[in-house]
Amino acid sequence: MKTLKQQMATLEGLRRKISLVQVIGQRIDLKKTASALGTYKGLCPFHDDKTPSLLVHRKKQIFHCFGCGVGGDLFGWTMRYHRLTFPEAVAWVRRQSR
């Protein structure tokens, strides 16, 4: 049984190792914005999006939608997109990282 600290370190490791831009980019079309912050945007899959409202920060590894207000990190995306619980999302991400 892993301690909570070890589990947190594992999550942090996955969060660092896996590019959120790549993960989201596999599902929706992301375009790099002109912003120096290294952001990408695309059509949000969580609401009826007509103009790209979903923003992904490459460095911060987070996403945010200006249309419907959803946002989060790698695990938040995975839970929402694949309709998983948090532990399921962690397992899903783990499989991707192999």
Asked if residue 67 binds Zn ion (CB under 5 A), the reply is yes
**Which residues are within 8 A (CB) of 46 and not within 5 positions of it... i.e. 6 or more apart?**
65, 68, 70, 80
Question: In terms of CB distance, is 44 or 55 closer to Zn ion?
Answer: 44
Q: Where are the alpha helices (DSSP H) in 1-98?
A: 4-17, 20-25, 74-82, 86-96
Per-position x/- string for 25-44, each x denoting binding to Zn ion as judged by CB under 5 A, each - no binding? -------------------x
Smallest distance, Zn ion to C-beta of residue 53, A: 5
Asked if residue 81 binds Zn ion (CB under 5 A), the reply is no
Q: Which residues of the chain form contacts with Zn ion (CB under 5 A)?
A: 44, 46-47, 65, 67-68
